[in-house]
Amino acid sequence: MAETKSEKVKQTKSVRDAEATKAIILAAAEEEFAQHGLTAARTEAIAAKTQVAKSMIYYYFKDKEGLYRAVLERSHAHLLQAIQPLDLETASPEVALEQFLRALLDCVSRNPKLPTIMFLEAVQNQGKYYKNSTSASIDTVLIAILERGVKTEIFRPLDPFQSAINIMGTCLFYFIGTGNIQQFPQGKRPLSKAMLSQHLEEAIAFSLAGVQKI
């Protein structure tokens, strides 16, 4: 028997409600994992923040590990979406690097918890979940830009892998170290719009200066 219009409407609403619930859970989980990492994060705390039953978290994500994987994938998906529209392969290496870093930092400025989650992933899990995430694709894009810059002799002779690590550190440690940075100098707010904008420009200028020929 064919579905009635009313049944289709109910089914659509059910799907939308499920997606909305999952989005609420993921947002709270992101905050919890940014504070405690996978090891010490508690699904009870996530349930309390969202007022969603703990059983629903397990229904949608199976277990805490499944929820953690989903948080990583959602965060990295945002980064990939930020760089996908860019024409990085045909632009000059200098322009491509600047565009890449600007998109990366703009995205992370809107989601400053991601670098902290990735820091805790490295410390607690030794990159176990990182290696299977789409973040590896982002790293590959940066390395490819640096390789092309060296090959065309626009960038100085450098190791693209090592330089990519240093550039990512320059861009992302700011967010990981916010708790310390805000203590000195007094009165600075690292995550304010003005300081995030300043960090973006400084990090890009610093990175470009580091790869250019002297």
Domains and CATH numbers, the chain: 5-211 (1.10.357.10)
Between the CA atoms of 107, 112, 117 and 120, what dihedral angle is there, to the nearest 10 degrees?
A: 130
pLDDT confidence of residue 13 = 52
Instruction: Pick the closest to residue 119 from 63, 44, 158, 176 (CA basis).
Output: 176
Give the global pTM: 0.85
- Per-residue pLDDT of 54-85, as tens digits, reads 999 999 999 999 999 999 988 888 888 889 89
Between the CA atoms of 37, 124, 79 and 173, what dihedral angle is there, to the nearest 10 degrees?
A: 90
Instruction: Pick the closest to residue 19 from 70, 55, 85 (CA basis).
Output: 70
In whole angstroms, how far apart are CA 71 and each of 1, 88, 121?
Answer: 39, 27, 12
- Per-residue pLDDT of 175-202, as tens digits, reads 999 888 888 777 778 899 999 999 999 9
Give the Cβ contact number of residue 83 at 10 Å. 19
- Per-residue pLDDT of 85-143, as tens digits, reads 999 999 999 999 999 999 999 999 999 999 999 999 999 999 898 887 766 688 899 99
